[in-house]
Structure 1
Amino acid sequence: MKKLIIILLLGSPLSAELFTDLALVECINREINDHLPFFYNYSFVGGYFTMPSARMPASGMVTIGGASVPPYSVYGANLGVFNRIELSANYRVFRGCLESNFGREGFGDDADRIGNVKFGMLMPEDGFEGFPSIAFGLDDFIGTKRFSSSYFVATKEWTKYDFELSLGWGSGRIKGIFGGAVWTPFRQTEIPVLKNISLIAEYDANDYKKHHGEHFKGRDVDFRGNFGLSYLLGETLQLTLSSLRGKKLAGSASLRYPLGTTTGLFAKDKNPLPYTAPVDFQALGNARPEEEFARDLAYSFADQGLDIYGILLDCSQGDRHLWIEVANNRYRKERTVRERIQNLLAALTPSDVDQVTVTVQSEGVKSHSYTFRTIDLYQYERGCMSEPELATVAPMSPVCIAPSDYEAMLLFQRAREVWTFTARPRLINFFGATSGKYKYSIGLIASMEGYLYNAIYYRVQGAYSAYSSMHGLSSRDRLNPSRILHVRTDAVRYYQASSVSLEELFLARNWNVGKGWFFRLAGGYFEPAYGGVASELLLYPVQSSWAVGIEAATVLKRRYSGLGFFSKIPKFNNAGIEVFERYVGVQYFLNLYYDFKPLALGFEANIGQFLARDKGVRIIATRYFPSGLRFSLWTTITNGGDKVNGRVYHDKGFAFHIPFDIFLRQSSRTFLTYAMSAWLRDVGAVAATGKTLYNTLYEERVD
């Protein structure tokens, strides 16, 4: 009968309509996802050669590259912050034009740092069929603004004809009407190489002749039309060649990769598979002694990348309650840790245990707990309860207070590691020194960390500089000497003094004091420049999007070598004379945190006093991506009154945090971090005091 029904269904008009509808859906999806090749211009903004388009890179796309645009050399990077926002940065070198102040001292050709931003106002995904994409952009919107422009641009794609057209209007360096067109004639063929080539033409509206910041060799224009081609290989490598101003040839090469959405360069085949077997529900007793069960459970957790530090069995409340304390040393996402835990418990919890509470700890502080009923675990193991259902009945909760060793039976206990040794290479760089555009130090850092008395965290870090180009650099900015206490502008001196140095040596202790409150106390040498004592109090409830805390530290400034401290540090008075003042650094802050999950944005505000005794606020905005990539921008507004080039300067900069496991075949909690300020100044400076409580807890709870 079942076979007959299937045959009748397949032969009915209803089945024909179903397949027609499915084919239509497939056709619509193909049209929605079909796009012409996307290109970056010579400023690494989505566009053509020198002009922008309204198209945007995908969220999480990261691009780096270089361009020769006579008479400039341009090095740049681009990040798709959202599908509607792209940020790019350029380092533009004026070839053959010495920097007026320090060009003959080793700096060489003049150079400028440029920041660009573009906002998508109307995008294809908005559903206005037939309308072009529309964007608004700002070129060189921060800093000296020598190449600043603002513009509106509209772009229309005709995928059927493999053709794209843009028309826009700008003011500033881009002056008046501009446009561009792309044709990819072999896109829909299978001809190797040719299918990846696009022919591009644009009308260049840059005001080369009259714009004040232009290179003196780049003002002549014979023809406003630029023509050329671009080759895009595997959505990764872009090569571009074109005419420029009717006089020169320009070209660029860039690499792009979806760093924000990637699952990694390699499959995570070195990760253990989620636990499934063997399944053992045997009750505790002679056939399954408690100590043997606890030992087997600890081994099983360790195989999954989780370390158990304690197991208690409590029978004092009339039921049998298992308490487990675990540390996650491998996975970045909370849901991955939870999945590993519940798979293990669903297969190995004894039938005479009524419930299990697992507490997750990090850096010696307990972050949160899960409490599972055994009956729910068994339902989950049999496939009668889904993972979302189990998460509903056993959610992440505040840390549950475990019974003492006197109230419960201790089945297993493991001390925290007394020491762990790591070593890795390190690159430190500085931009804009008078004797050269780029200075660096290549070396090795080695650290040892662990726990004393199973509770007090310690860290020792030493550094060895193998090769450095920073010797002889001065810590004084001759054009814009800092008029406030020199708490950071002498940072380069710490990497010049000795090839071997002790950078960190400190102790720290974290406490969970209950009801969402946490406390931290630390003391020692926190970083190459400062040592002292610090404390922090944080309110961060479980499953909360906000947190608030206070912190304070008293620090002394370290000497450039050895373990001693300066009693006085310099500053320049209004007459430009260097004077020394007694110095004990005091920094204190009210810290506010908010995680806006709908847009994957984190915000942080630190309100208080900074190292140079200036008072104000530091604001940090962080965009985090599915891959674990984080991109941060910060600005600091204080009453320090520091001036650069005649204008009051507020510290600002950016940071990347790249998950190291993108490059590995297994999961890792390690990040590669790079941060840079616009200028190395003393205003808004903060001394490191160890890992903050918010970062410690956030990394355990983030999904």
Structure 2
Amino acid sequence: MKRHWLPCLVLGCATCAVAEPRYTQNDFGGVGLLQTPTARMAQAGELSVNANRTDPYSRYSVSFQPFDWLEGSFRYTAISNRDYGPESLSGDQSYKDKAIDAKVRLLKENRWLPEVALGGRDIGGTGLFSSEYFVGNKRLGDFDLSLGLAWGYIGNRGDIDNPASIVLGDKFDERPQATGTGDFNGNTYFRGSPSFFGGVNYQTPWDPLSLKLEYEGNDYQNEPQDNDQIQDSPINLGMVFKASDSVDLHAAWERGNTAMFGITLHTNFATRKAPAKSFDPPAEKVQASMPKVAPEDVQWAGVAQRLQKNAGYRVERIAQRDSELIVYGEQTRYFHAPKAVGRAARILDNSVNDEIDWFTVVDNRNGLPVQEISLPRETFREVAQKDRPVEDLRRVTEQNAPVPHQEKELFEQTLSPFTYGLGLGYKQNVGGPDGFLLYQFTADLTAEYRFQRDLWWNGMLSANLVNNFDKFKYDAPSNLPRVRTFLREYMTTSDVTMPTFQLNKVKQLDEDLYGMAYGGYLESMFAGVGGELLYRPMGERWAIGGNLAWAKQRDFEQDFGLRDYDVITGHVTGYYRLPFEDILAAVSVGRYLARDYGVTFDLSREFRNGVRFGGFMTLTNVTQDEYGEGSFSKGIYFSIPFDELMASSTMRRANLVWSPLTRDGGASLGRSYSLYSLTEGRNIDMFHNNFDKVVE
């Protein structure tokens, strides 16, 4: 018989009205107690960065909540008493383990039922700490009680026989040891003898402080790498102190003999307020009465300057069609289209007489007409003067595909062809055997020359400032052409590089059909020529596109030289934006840089402010042995508009991608532009979700 030891936890329902406890991170990352998870979830949009130390483990994790029912984490664990590898390769670096976790809510708590979740720890890593579990939570006033059953690491004590054996057979009595690195070890899931775990989180009367007590199902006698630990008690006691709205400090006494200290930095990108745009110019005020100047008498050059400085539109031309005034231009400052259109409407309203009843802005990107937005002037005036609610304006605002019009041209702006900028660049490689963090800081000079609005050259010169990639020695061997694993050579051969130097041409081929041709030095490792088509109907949630390119490998110096390797690569991609939860699904099928064929799945959640959490997975026709360590390409990413972080408006984004390993299989050609991103203005959900900004 298995031994049974379980703290008595009574799960009932609370009848008193109390403030809801804060849900904080556990030692591994993800909402929980200390060593164990709970069924609780953070609010959708939450992003947490965690670091803690419990000898011999230091854990660094990022947890994210794309939906209120789904939690994900990725983590590096440093095992301080184990070496990463041979001293000749890794020096004295400690062993680093990579892992991906996930938790799904199955049942939401109500008056009678507990909250229930199903989760997996280390489901997409080496499997050293892999575990699967069911857990439930119920509140009793200021106490939040949890009780769960876990297989694998969390349940290594093995208190009971495996219930799955009764239904699925004796093979579930034993848990195979996880093999490989970066694979999904599905043959181990829910196998072996599980254990119970549970605990309580107590929100003290002092709001910044909460206390945690847990019973864990791990006895530390089956630790990875024969690293068993002495456990004097399965009871862990800890506390969380809320140092600020975005900083939590953790401390605990675990295993009856070991201290834990940690810190969590967190924010919620769905609910947080962006900084006040104190560096933006104030929007023009709508005057009490309309001007007396007829459209043909307006000094449109001055209006174009105001549209550039105050509404962010680089005006191409201004025209009139009957009682409609049309501005053609490219947005350069405001991330949210309603804000830009509202500011433009104020400027136009203050410039022309009552002969004009409608204001239309045709939004172009690099010469591509993306959408046209039309506002009725009188309704806009009343809303801007706060005489009517903004919803009245939303109902009558039109968003259409741009089409040619019979119109009278009032003004045309001369193209200013040359622009440039200087910025700081950063590249990194995390968790490799050569060093936990390899990095490079560069000074980047970017430039663009437009021969026409839809024909331009762009390039970059990059000067190395600080770089420790000379430590990178691991070549990550595989049986595929080395299209990505020459990382050290590309990062260290030259101190001055030319990552991009290319020519681009775009064209609207039909009302909803776009085309692009490009050629040159497309990214740091490949040059080439190619073309793309995209069909994206206005007002629809779907789009389909195709891209085909001939690519040739560049010299390590990243100048104008080329190596011998070349490949024809391309994909057909389907996009679909689900009508709920702002989910974008993309599936690409085609040929990759290493001449392997396969499919890439990409799933992301975009919040109303433009913040995007997503993940991708690529499966190709190469075997695991051919691919090498990691088995297949996968990763997660965060895309955060700088507009959410800065006191001035900007259209730029911070794109953070984490992929466990750099490998040659499933590698796509990097490009500066894609038609789907250039036509992002056709995302009608984003427009309407932020329509209230039309009065800002």
Q: TM-score w.r.t. structure 2 length? A: 0.85
Task: Give the conservation status (yes or no) of the 8 Å contact 2:330–2:365.
Answer: yes
- Equivalent position SS for 2:338: helix
- Equivalent position SS for 1:267: coil
Letter in 1 for 2:361: V
**Equivalent in 516, 525, 530 of residue 526 of structure 2:** 530
- Equivalent position SS for 1:165: strand
Alpha carbons of 1:376 and 1:221: their partners in 2 closer, same or farther (altered >3 Å)? closer
2: CA distance, partners of 1:154 / 1:117? 16
- Equivalent position SS for 1:685: coil
Letter in 1 for 2:105: G
2: CA distance, partners of 1:454 / 1:119? 48
- Listed as ranges, the matches of 1:130-279 within 5 Å are 130-159=112-141, 162-175=142-155, 176-187=195-206, 195-211=207-223, 213=224, 216=227, 218-264=228-274, 266-278=275-287
Letter in 2 for 1:59: A
- Equivalent position SS for 1:221: coil
**Which residue in the other structure is 1:470 paired with?**
469
- Equivalent position SS for 1:683: coil
2: CA distance, partners of 1:201 / 1:694? 50
The question of 1:365 aligning with 2:372 is answered no
Task: Give the conservation status (yes or no) of the 8 Å contact 1:37–1:232.
Answer: no
Letter in 2 for 1:689: R
- CA displacement 1:401-452 (0-9 Å, x = unmatched): 134xxxx543222234322222222221113444323211122212012412
The question of 1:555 aligning with 2:560 is answered no
Task: Give the conservation status (yes or no) of the 8 Å contact 1:237–1:255.
Answer: yes
2: CA distance, partners of 1:386 / 1:298? 30
Deviates more, 1:658-667 or 1:77-86: 658-667
- Equivalent position SS for 1:295: helix
Alpha carbons of 1:131 and 1:346: their partners in 2 closer, same or farther (altered >3 Å)? farther
Percent identical pairs in the alignment equals 22
Deviates more, 1:463-472 or 1:275-284: 275-284
Rg (Cα) greater in structure: 1
The question of 1:351 aligning with 2:354 is answered yes
2: CA distance, partners of 1:320 / 1:227? 72
1: CA distance, partners of 2:252 / 2:375? 65
- CA displacement 1:210-237 (0-9 Å, x = unmatched): 35x2552x43222111123221233422
Letter in 1 for 2:506: N
Measure how far apart 1:462 and its partner are.
0.8
Letter in 1 for 2:278: D
Task: Give the conservation status (yes or no) of the 8 Å contact 1:68–1:251.
Answer: yes
Measure how far apart 1:627 and its partner are.
3.2
**Which residue in the other structure is 2:330 paired with?**
327
- Equivalent position SS for 2:398: coil
- Equivalent position SS for 2:302: helix
Measure how far apart 1:366 and its partner are.
0.9
**Which residue in the other structure is 2:315 paired with?**
308
Gaps of 5+ in 2: 1-14, 156-194, 688-696
**Which residue in the other structure is 1:445 paired with?**
444
Measure how far apart 1:113 and its partner are.
0.6
Task: Give the conservation status (yes or no) of the 8 Å contact 2:524–2:558.
Answer: no
2: CA distance, partners of 1:120 / 1:689? 38
1: CA distance, partners of 2:647 / 2:346? 22
**Which residue in the other structure is 2:297 paired with?**
290
2: CA distance, partners of 1:131 / 1:409? 67
Letter in 2 for 1:498: S
Measure how far apart 1:138 and its partner are.
0.7
Measure how far apart 1:274 and its partner are.
4.0
**Which residue in the other structure is 2:26 paired with?**
41
Alpha carbons of 1:417 and 1:675: their partners in 2 closer, same or farther (altered >3 Å)? farther
Deviates more, 1:226-235 or 1:545-554: 226-235
1: CA distance, partners of 2:152 / 2:257? 23
The question of 1:593 aligning with 2:575 is answered yes
Task: Give the conservation status (yes or no) of the 8 Å contact 1:658–1:672.
Answer: yes
1: CA distance, partners of 2:17 / 2:342? 35
Alpha carbons of 1:546 and 1:620: their partners in 2 closer, same or farther (altered >3 Å)? same
- Equivalent position SS for 2:580: helix
**Which residue in the other structure is 1:5 paired with?**
none
Letter in 1 for 2:215: Y
2: CA distance, partners of 1:234 / 1:536? 48
Alpha carbons of 1:518 and 1:170: their partners in 2 closer, same or farther (altered >3 Å)? same
- Equivalent position SS for 1:174: helix
Alpha carbons of 1:203 and 1:509: their partners in 2 closer, same or farther (altered >3 Å)? same
Alpha carbons of 1:204 and 1:660: their partners in 2 closer, same or farther (altered >3 Å)? same
Task: Give the conservation status (yes or no) of the 8 Å contact 1:359–1:400.
Answer: no
Which of structures 1 and 2 has the larger relative contact order (alpha carbons within 8 angstroms, sep 6+)? 2
Letter in 1 for 2:55: P
Task: Give the conservation status (yes or no) of the 8 Å contact 1:182–1:200.
Answer: yes
Measure how far apart 1:151 and its partner are.
1.0
Letter in 1 for 2:77: R
**Which residue in the other structure is 1:118 paired with?**
103
Alpha carbons of 1:621 and 1:102: their partners in 2 closer, same or farther (altered >3 Å)? farther
Deviates more, 1:238-247 or 1:172-181: 238-247
Letter in 1 for 2:197: F
**Which residue in the other structure is 1:281 paired with?**
290
**Which residue in the other structure is 1:665 paired with?**
647
**Which residue in the other structure is 2:189 paired with?**
none
Alpha carbons of 1:154 and 1:320: their partners in 2 closer, same or farther (altered >3 Å)? closer
The alignment's C-alpha RMSD in Å is: 2.6
Measure how far apart 1:282 and its partner are.
4.1
2: CA distance, partners of 1:474 / 1:442? 20
Task: Give the conservation status (yes or no) of the 8 Å contact 1:229–1:241.
Answer: yes
**Which residue in the other structure is 2:405 paired with?**
402
**Which residue in the other structure is 1:675 paired with?**
657
- CA displacement 1:291-346 (0-9 Å, x = unmatched): 425633652563222232201235xxxx4543320221122223323333444445
Alpha carbons of 1:373 and 1:183: their partners in 2 closer, same or farther (altered >3 Å)? closer
2: CA distance, partners of 1:566 / 1:666? 42
1: CA distance, partners of 2:378 / 2:287? 19
Letter in 1 for 2:448: E
Alpha carbons of 1:647 and 1:494: their partners in 2 closer, same or farther (altered >3 Å)? closer
Measure how far apart 1:132 and its partner are.
2.2
Alpha carbons of 1:104 and 1:53: their partners in 2 closer, same or farther (altered >3 Å)? same
Letter in 1 for 2:37: P
Alpha carbons of 1:103 and 1:599: their partners in 2 closer, same or farther (altered >3 Å)? farther
**Which residue in the other structure is 1:10 paired with?**
none
1: CA distance, partners of 2:383 / 2:438? 58
- CA displacement 1:23-43 (0-9 Å, x = unmatched): xxxxxxx98893113221111
Measure how far apart 1:492 and its partner are.
2.9
- Listed as ranges, the matches of 1:425-504 within 5 Å are 425-471=424-470, 473-474=472-473, 476-477=475-476, 481-504=477-500
2: CA distance, partners of 1:493 / 1:650? 23
- CA displacement 1:610-648 (0-9 Å, x = unmatched): 111111111111111233221221111111335389778
1: CA distance, partners of 2:92 / 2:603? 33
Task: Give the conservation status (yes or no) of the 8 Å contact 1:94–1:215.
Answer: no
Measure how far apart 1:155 and its partner are.
1.4
2: CA distance, partners of 1:534 / 1:280? 54
Deviates more, 1:623-632 or 1:409-418: 409-418
Letter in 1 for 2:334: Y
2: CA distance, partners of 1:323 / 1:602? 32
**Which residue in the other structure is 1:543 paired with?**
539
Alpha carbons of 1:640 and 1:564: their partners in 2 closer, same or farther (altered >3 Å)? farther
Task: Give the conservation status (yes or no) of the 8 Å contact 2:311–2:341.
Answer: no
Alpha carbons of 1:551 and 1:33: their partners in 2 closer, same or farther (altered >3 Å)? farther
1: CA distance, partners of 2:512 / 2:373? 15
- Equivalent position SS for 2:470: coil
